[in-house]
Amino acid sequence: MSKSDYVLQAVNLHKSFGARHVLRGVEFGLRPGELLGVLGENGAGKSTLLRILAGVLRADRGEVVHRGRLGYCPQRIVVNDELTVGQHLRYFQSAYHLEDLTVAESVAERLGLTPFRHVRAGVLSGGTRQKLNLTLALMHDPDVVLMDEPYQGFDWENYLTFWTLTDQLRAQGRSVLVISHLAHDTERFDRLLRLTRGQVEPTDAMAGAELEAAS
């Protein structure tokens, strides 16, 4: 596959916070229709990497090349506690310039978020807030989806629903990057990378199992 076939590429990314050199030349590409996992221990720099890929944080060096629309599901939920779920959807509809809420309503329905439409975000449970977070990341039908620990707070049923949604995105040709410190269910991914010592390297299910044991 030539480099131009990637929908997203990290090219020699470096990032430091003070003396802490978190990313030290991260290089990888995300392929069309691929479900890619990036694993790493707590503090390895996964969220830093994803924020740079999403364009909310600037790298010190290197570049991110992507095409198509990006969807970003951050680890820290960025909802407004005073707004209801429905108000969030309308707010983001306007921000994304969407004609309607067809995709949002479909995702919300799948995740069981619909009954909370008139509930303020501030009183939602952690898992339900995460459903809103995920819906906001997917409602503009992005070509490339970047997700940071996307199933945090989900019960088992919603965890499985998350994977069904992800499989559907992939079947529609979307590319999905999931980062996690947990290396379980590694067989669900098309490919797994590990972020370690500031760089990304290939891993396999066995290496993932070791990581899980260590976490």
Ligand X SMILES: Nc1ncnc2c1ncn2[C@@H]1O[C@H](COP(=O)(O)OP(=O)(O)OP(=O)(O)O)[C@@H](O)[C@H]1O
Query: Closest approach of Cβ 29 to ligand X, in Å?
Result: 20
Verify binding: residue 181, ligand X, rule CB under 6 A.
yes
| CA max distance for the chain | 48
In the complex with ligand X, the residue whose CB is nearer, 22 or 124, is: 22
**CA–CA separation, 144 and 174 (whole Å):** 6
Contacting range for ligand X; rule: CB under 6 A; set: 43-51, 122-130, 163-171, 199-207: 43-51
What tokens does 182 get?
């947990």
Long-range pairs of 93-98 with CB within 8 A, sequence gap ≥ 24 = 93/139, 96/139, 96/140, 98/139, 98/140
Verify binding: residue 48, ligand X, rule CB under 6 A.
yes
Of 9, 47, 128, 166, the residue at the interface with ligand X (CB under 6 A) is 47
In the complex with ligand X, the residue whose CB is nearer, 21 or 117, is: 21
Of 12, 27, 43, 190, the residue at the interface with ligand X (CB under 6 A) is 43
Verify binding: residue 42, ligand X, rule CB under 6 A.
yes
Q: In what order do the strands lie in the sheet containing 175-180?
A: 70-73, 144-148, 175-180, 35-39, 191-196, 199-202
Of 5, 12, 20, 65, the residue at the interface with ligand X (CB under 6 A) is 20
**CA–CA separation, 6 and 30 (whole Å):** 5
**CA–CA separation, 215 and 210 (whole Å):** 9
Verify binding: residue 17, ligand X, rule CB under 6 A.
yes
In the complex with ligand X, the residue whose CB is nearer, 2 or 42, is: 42
Query: Closest approach of Cβ 72 to ligand X, in Å?
Result: 14
Contact positions toward ligand X, by CB under 6 A?
A: 17, 20, 22, 40, 42-48, 181
